[in-house]
Amino acid sequence: MHLSFLKFSRSTIRLKHEVQKCLKVAVIGPPNVGKSLLTNKLVKAGVAAVSSQMDTTQKNQTAILTEGSSQLVFVDSPGTVGIKHAREIVRSPDSRILSDPEHAVEQADHILVVHDATICTDYILHRVLHMLHRYRQIPSSLVLNKIDQVKQRSDLLSLTRVLCNGVVDGKPIIVKKHSGGQLAKLCGKIHKASHEMSLHSPEEKEQNEQWQEKYKELLQRPTHKCSWGETKQLFANIKGWSNFQDVFFVSALTGEGIDMLRDHLYKIGLQKEHIFKQEMLTTKKPMMICQDSIRAEFLNRIPPYIAYALKINVTEWDMEGEVLQIVAEVECKKDRIARIVVGEHGLTIMAVAKEVNESLQNLLAQQLFVRILVKVEGKLFDSLRYNARRNITKKSVAI
């Protein structure tokens, strides 16, 4: 069962002879740059779980927006990380957190590289650069996100010049002002990437023969098959990508610039059949959306290493009258972990349930109730009994 909504269908009327357009877009970038929130804003629905912590997204998720004869298919990918990070921080045995970003790219018609405009890094992450070089035939755009937090908007131009090597769509950077006076979009007529992209960028040509040999070797391997150190060393002296077709300044949080980006993607859509039915919003199952939303809310409230390790399962999903009753179980390894998950007087778990309830209700357009149970070794965690035992232990130690 995939998520499709007839209740708030965006427009299910299709003309018989209308030419269909479709664009499959890979959304890639480092962790915590706002890829999932950007995806949600682009499809006008909260299908992807979002938190304040990195690595909320651990595998590709597809979100779909169909309006009239045009369809946009977004593949929101995990942040580009190394094996060490996946094992030690996220504690994920699933290789998809490493390989899915490239899987999103290799099947895409267009690539959105998302960069956090607020951080001090004036370079594109080497893992992202490796993918861009491997798939240089696929058109790409740079999205500078979180501009609502940038005090000096003029600084964005300097950053853009570095990240694009001073070139957008094969032309020197020129900036247009939006009608409201805000930085909007770097101009330059869109050309077909296969016709306009050079085989080798100036940055590559400047490197020595030894670098060229290493470059050829590493580009034969998928990004996740290259070590973090290998790609970091290879692109140590390369900060940007010269083949971006466009640059967009957006705030996924406030919505600034989102309409312009979406309109542009519609404009460059390819004339081909839609991939999904018009009413579909995501390929993700509703129960999985619920599970991911619960984990995301825990990431906002408890130490990330605990939230990553939680086993979350939706055990009940039943209609009772007009209300959808949802029960989710959170399995903890130890009582002390369960106590953190529940929180003082149950405040943490109540806050999580409240937020998940609201987000799912908005997404599903359905009255519902979410109940979260915490278990330790398969048994329901009793916080009152646990606290009583702790108090007895403390008194014994004091005596």
Q: Are 276 and 289 contained in the same domain?
A: no
Alpha helices of the chain — where are they, by DSSP H? 35-43, 83-88, 96-106, 126-134, 155-163, 193-196, 202-205, 209-218, 228-234, 258-267, 286-299, 304-309, 335-342, 347-364, 383-398
Neighbours of 351 (CB within 10 A): 15
Strand order in the sheet with 323-332: 311-320, 323-332, 368-376, 379-380
**Which of 281, 298, 328 is where one domain is finished?**
281
Specify the pLDDT at position 397.
42
Tokens of 121: 């890094």
Dmax of the chain from CA atoms? 86
pLDDT digits (tens, 9 = 90+) for 9-33: 444 445 456 799 999 999 999 999 9
Question: What CATH number has the domain bearing residue 119?
Answer: 3.40.50.300
pLDDT, tens digit, for every residue of 248-258?
999 999 999 99
pTM, full prediction:
0.86
If asked whether residues 10 and 155 sit together in one domain, one would say yes
- How high is the pLDDT of residue 123? 94
Q: Which of 281, 308, 324 is the last residue of a domain?
A: 281
* Residues ≥6 apart with Cβ < 8 Å to 216: none
pLDDT at 45: 95
253 and 313 belong to one structural domain: no
What is the percent of the chain with per-residue pLDDT over 90, rounded to a whole number? 73
pLDDT band per the 50, 70, 90 thresholds, residue 195? very low
CA distances in angstroms from 19 to 79, 142, 231, 272, listed in the order given = 35, 28, 43, 8
Q: What is the pLDDT of residues 201-242, one digit of tens each?
A: 656 666 788 999 999 999 999 999 999 999 999 999 999 999
Q: Which of the two residues, 399 and 90, has the higher pLDDT score? A: 90
Do 39 and 116 lie in a common domain? yes
Q: Which of 260, 281, 302 is the last residue of a domain?
A: 281
pLDDT at 17: 63
Average pLDDT score over residue span 286-308: 95
147 with 57, same domain: the answer is yes
> What is the distance, to the nearest Å, from the Cα of residue 16 to the centroid of all Cα atoms in its chain?
35
Q: Give the pLDDT of residue 120.
A: 75
Q: Do 257 and 289 share a domain, yes or no?
A: no
Share of the chain above pLDDT 70, in %: 82
CB 45 within 8 A of CB 279: no
Summary mean pLDDT of the chain: 87
Same domain assignment for residues 275 and 295: no
Asked if pLDDT for residue 192 goes beyond 80, the answer is no
Identify whether residues 291 and 277 lie together within a single domain: no
pLDDT for 191? 35
Q: Name which of 386, 355, 389, 384 is nearest 372 in CA terms.
A: 355
- Report the alpha-carbon distance of residue 310 to residue 314 in Å, rounded: 13
Q: How many structural domains does the chain have?
A: 2
Tell me: do 206 and 261 sit in the same domain.
yes
pLDDT above 90: residue 313: yes
Could you tell me the residue range of the domain that residue 335 belongs to? 285-398
Answer with the residue of higher pLDDT: 286 or 12: 286
Whether the predicted pLDDT of 41 surpasses 90 = yes
Least confident piece of the model among 60-74, 87-101, 302-316, 382-396 = 382-396
- Neighbouring CB atoms inside 10 A of 5's CB total 15
Claim to verify: residue 359 and residue 383 sit in the same structural domain: yes
Say which DSSP state 32 is in: T
Q: pLDDT per residue over 341-366, tens digit each?
A: 999 999 999 999 999 999 999 999 99
Q: Which of 139, 138, 140, 103 is nearest to 124 (CA)?
A: 140
Q: Judge whether residue 322 has pLDDT over 80.
A: yes
Comparing 187 with 11, the larger pLDDT belongs to 11
pLDDT digits (tens, 9 = 90+) for 106-164: 999 999 999 999 987 889 999 999 999 999 999 999 999 999 999 988 889 999 999 99
Q: Which of 261, 285, 113 is nearest to 184 (CA)?
A: 261
What are the beta bridge partners of residue 325? 318, 369
Q: Are residues 347 and 310 in the same domain?
A: yes
- Rounded to whole angstroms, how far apart are CA atoms 79 and 95? 13
Let me know whether 122 and 210 are in one domain. yes
Least confident of 53-57, 97-101, 190-194: 190-194
**CATH classification of the domain holding 348:** 3.30.300.20
Q: What integer pLDDT is reported at residue 294 of this predicted model?
A: 97
